[in-house]
Amino acid sequence: MNERWKPSVTVAAVIEQDGRFLLVEEHTPEGLRLNNPAGHLDPGESPEQGCIRETLEETAHPFQPTALVGVYLSRFVRPTATGIEDVTYLRFAYCGAVGSAGEGRALDAGIVRTLWLTPEEIRASKERLRSPLVLQCMEDYLRGQRFPLAMVHTSPSVTDPT
């Protein structure tokens, strides 16, 4: 029997203010890495809702998407103690407006801190990026790549359990 291939769906926020981008520094099996506020899409939520949730959990900043920056497909392969981990990610990256961090709100487990970095600082940190998509999403954003939120349709069957 063939097993159906299922990519891992993730969401990411590309947040820019005053020429700096909001990133998180997080623990990974490869050590401390820089990433967009990002994570896996949860059951029952749209990609847009997932991005709002992940940004709040990882940065303590409320986030409101205003546009889709892009949809990205990438593959990650690494050796593990039991063999090889081979995961394909389907990433929905959004840009939008961010509010002030909520005082006293804890960051997600594994997140060390948030950072506001310039494009030059991010480009100079390629070896510290969790994924090449961090840089790709930023570059697409800087080029002005934006798509309407309505480009991603989520059927009510996903978000309404009845």
The residue ranking higher by pLDDT, 26 or 78, is 26
- Per-residue confidence at 104, pLDDT binned at 50, 70, 90? confident
pLDDT in tens, 23-68: 999 999 889 999 999 999 999 999 999 999 999 999 999 999 999 9
CATH code given to domain 8-147: 3.90.79.10
Mean of the per-residue pLDDT values for the chain? 93
pLDDT at 159: 86
What global pTM score does this model have?
0.91
Listed residue (9, 75, 74) closest to 47, CA to CA: 9
- Name the helix (H) or strand (E) containing 58: helix 47-59
Could you please report the per-residue DSSP string of 119-138? Answer: HHHHHTTGGGBS-HHHHHHH
Query: What is the 8-class DSSP label of residue 103?
Result: T
pLDDT at 96: 98
| Inter-residue contact 108 to 27 (CB < 8 Å) | no
Token representation of residue 130 = 């969790």
pLDDT at 81: 81
Reply yes or no on whether the pLDDT at 1 is more than 70.
Answer: no
Query: What is the 8-class DSSP label of residue 144?
Result: T
Dihedral angle, C-alpha 81, 87, 92, 96, nearest 10 °? 20
Sequence ranges of the domains in the chain = 8-147
